[in-house]
Structure 1
Amino acid sequence: MMKSTSDRYGAVAVTLHWLSAFGILALLATGFRAADAPDPAALLRLHVPLGIAVLALTVFRVVWWLALDRKPAPIANTLAGQERLARGVHLAFYIVLFGMFGSGIALMAMSGAGAVLFGGGPLPDFSAYGPRAPHGIGAMLLIALLIAHVAAALYHALIRRDAIFRRMWYGKGKRAD
């Protein structure tokens, strides 16, 4: 099933979720490692196209949810406050991600690093450019949001035992609540 049902996410939403998750983890890893790497340009040659790919996935994901699919109903017996918190964390993900995309694009444009990365030469000192600070802060916020997201998923899986992971995986399976 391509689209979501009332109790589980469809194949498109599941694919977008997991591709985005792995892409964001790879972006964080390459971004943080580039600062101390012997050849930071090599990591940034992965980081920049991957950032563009995650941007495309995120834009598609927003369009998917706004125009083409509906999210499943909340899991049964979820407190209203928990549901609001979950929606807030997801919204914060989108806000931070779009901020990261914007600051990354601005950093590449202002510093001229795009030409260096794909043409050669020494990398600029990124700290000399304004978008560097929000890009770094955004990375830290993404880590905090990821921790909150994974902690909530583990809470549902291990404490509530409400099959939250089954909702965000492929196949029919049992109802998630």
Structure 2
Amino acid sequence: MTDPAGYRTPARLLHWIIAAAVLLMIPAGLIMTREGLPKGLGDGLFLFHKNMGTLLIPLIALRILYRWLHPAPPLPPSVPEWQRRAAGVSHLALYVLLVVMPLSGFVRVRAGGFPIELLDSLGAGPWLAKSEPLARTAEGLHYAAAMLLIAVLVVHVAAALQHALIRRDGVWQRMWPPAGR
């Protein structure tokens, strides 16, 4: 269950499940708001994006709780101090953005008076009154956080690939999916 140099299996599974969902949701979110999409495609992307965001909220909460209970294993001594600090800042940014994104999306949808089919089918109720000003604010926050998330993810993936392909220092393997080890 534990690799002394790497993350535990639950952390790895949560990382890759959330990563796959986010990497699917980013293009869906960018495409679904385009003008001129066929109605069925736009509607399908909105359904996917809203409901996947709803599913991600408890997974992200579980991931943060797990990380709090099981801190990250130490980086290899070969990793320079500036990279350690950069990794800490980027991971914190990722966690904050992973919380802000689904919550701002939820507020945007509910304050806009729109359904979230998964929650509605469970009888969850809207939880927020309709408010166009709140919906617009949440929409702006959601968009800004999405652009920042994309930027931080590009840096995160580039750093991971640099450790995997150039430095080959074991940092990549710390989070590699457990089934692939």
TM-score range, shorter chain: 0.7 to 0.9
Whether the 8 Å contact between 1:104 and 1:135 is mirrored in structure 2 is yes
After TM superposition, the runs of 4+ consecutive aligned structure 1 residues lying more than 3 A away are 115-119
- The 10-residue stretch of structure 1 (81-90 or 164-173) with the greater mean CA deviation from structure 2: 164-173
Alignment: residue pair count: 164
Q: Percent identity between the aligned chains?
A: 33
Q: Which residue of 1 aligns with 2:85?
A: 84
In structure 1, which of residues 21, 24, 27 is the aligned counterpart of residue 25 of structure 2?
A: 27
1:109 aligned partner: 110
User: Is 1:153 matched with 2:160?
Assistant: yes
Supply the distance in 1 between the matched residues of 2:53 and 2:10 (Cα, whole angstroms). Answer: 20
Normalised TM-score (structure 1): 0.83
SS of 1:131's equivalent in the other structure is: helix
Q: 1:43 to 1:83 in 2, by over 3 A?
A: same
C-alpha separation in 2, matches of 1:100 and 1:33:
17
Indicate if the aligned counterparts of 1:6 and 1:71 stay in contact, CA closer than 8 A: no
C-alpha separation in 1, matches of 2:106 and 2:142: 10
Equivalence for 2:58: 56
Once the two structures are TM-superposed, the CA of residue 11 in structure 1 deviates from its matched residue by 1.1
Distance 1:112 1:159, change over 3 A: same
Residue 137 of structure 2 aligns to a residue whose secondary structure is coil
Q: Does the 8 Å CA contact 1:93/1:145 hold for their aligned counterparts?
A: yes
Distance 1:172 1:98, change over 3 A: closer
Q: In structure 1, which of residues 119, 129, 138 is the aligned counterpart of residue 145 of structure 2?
A: 138
RMSD: 2.5
Deviation at 1:132, TM superposition (A): 1.1
What's the CA shift for 1:164? 2.5
The TM-score normalised by the length of structure 2 is: 0.81
Code of the aligned partner of 2:151 = A
* 1:14 aligns with one of 9, 12, 15: 12
The answer to whether the 8 Å contact 1:9/1:72 transfers is yes
Aligned positions of 1:61-80 closer than 5 A: 61-67=63-69, 69-80=70-81
Contact 1:6–1:73 (Cα < 8 Å) also in 2: no
Structure 2 unaligned residues grouped into runs of 5+: 122-131
